[in-house]
């Protein structure tokens, strides 16, 4: 059975990601952080292990996925420690099947809007 990893921004597309999880779970092995990480386990290590085990990575992109900012006002996607960026970079680097899922009226970001490490994403 194929393994799917769902990457999403909580502030951008949480509800849609939960709907995807519910729809896919009867047919695939699906990892999503809300139910896949046990209390007391290292979040980052679990995410990395599950992403590397997946054959397919769904990157759920809502209207704020690119533009959402952190507390300091800078764009989160530009930060090297942004978990969504890390997940997308890891999926691309490890040659996973990456499927951008545009939701809530979002459009595909252009390569110019993305960090260089994610510039391949608009062409998938």
pLDDT in tens, 43-94: 788 889 999 999 999 999 999 999 999 999 999 999 999 999 999 999 999 9
pLDDT in tens, 5-37: 999 999 999 999 999 999 999 999 999 986 656
**Considering only CA atoms, which of 60, 62, 74, 46 is closest in space to residue 107?**
62
CATH code for the structural domain at 3-107: 3.40.50.10140
**Angle 55-66-86 (CA atoms, 0-180°, nearest 5)?**
40
């Amino acid at each position: 059975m194929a393994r799917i990893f769902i990457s999403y921004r909580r502030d951008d597309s949480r509800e849609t990601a939960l709907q995807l999880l519910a729809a896919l779970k009867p047919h695939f092995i699906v990892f999503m952080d809300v139910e896949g990480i046990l209390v007391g386990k290292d979040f980052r290590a679990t995410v990395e292990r599950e992403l590397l085990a997946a054959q397919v990575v769904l990157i759920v992109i809502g209207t704020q996925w690119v533009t959402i900012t952190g507390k300091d006002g800078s764009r989160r996607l530009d930060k090297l420690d942004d978990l969504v960026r890390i997940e997308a970079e890891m999926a691309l680097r490890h040659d996973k099947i990456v499927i951008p899922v545009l939701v809530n009226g979002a459009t595909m970001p252009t390569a110019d809007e993305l960090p260089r490490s994610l510039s391949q994403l608009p062409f998938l």
